[in-house]
Amino acid sequence: MKKLEILHQIVESGLVVVVRAETEELATRIAGACVDGGIRVLEITFTVPGAARAIESLASCRNFCLGAGTVLDPETARVAILAGAKFIVSPSFNPATARLCHRYQVPYLPGAGSVTEIVTAMEGGGDIVKVFPGETLGPAFVKATLAALPHAPLMPTGGVSIENVGDWIKAGCVAVGVGGCLTAPAKTGDFAAISDLSRRFLDQIREARSR
């Protein structure tokens, strides 16, 4: 899948599900439940034990786009790409990781928490900038930032819920990253609830975009 196609898929979906789990097996079960609910873009974080193995086991599935998250350095990015990750997400901008991703034409989504960091990430090759941590910044930050930087492709992660996802989209975000608010039912083994929440998030995004 080419880089432009991956970026288009992320933006078209509007939702990247961030999968964090205590085990590789649980991460793959969460991913499956999300896909059953219509999710087409997923991110397995490198806080998951055996994250590379989880990515490798899921990468062969062609009905969704799989990326790697919490990637702090180019070494981890390379491992993720070899395992089959189609995009790389970081909590902060790392120039060496950006260079590696661009060398192999893999989308790079670095995190940023201020206007200065957003500009630095874009100048350094960030394809979409992850607004992080979203819970402390809020949709108002995105709206104010886009007034000055209307060309900035922003995607918040952290603090995005079913109640406020529409606010983030209406503020101008090209997509949102959602983790625990969507995947929490896995703690009680209720994977059907994850599928249901996935559908509800996608519905809220479509509704916000239609206004």
Domain boundary assignment for the chain: 3-210
Tell me, yes or no, if 43 is annotated catalytic: yes
Provide the pLDDT confidence category of residue 206 given band limits of 50, 70 and 90. Answer: very high
Tell me, yes or no, if 86 is annotated catalytic: no
CATH of 3-210, one of 3.20.20.70, 1.10.3470.10, 3.30.1340.30, 3.30.450.20: 3.20.20.70
Res. 167: pLDDT tops 90: yes
Active-site pick, 24, 43, 86, 117 = 43
Interacting residues of 20 by C-beta distance below 8 A, sequence separation 6+:
27, 45, 47, 48, 179, 180, 183
Active-site pick, 56, 86, 130, 163 = 130
Q: What is the pLDDT of residue 94?
A: 98
Q: Tokens standing for 6?
A: 């991956």
List, in sequence order, the alpha helices (H) in 14-124.
24-36, 51-59, 74-83, 95-103, 115-123
pTM: 0.97
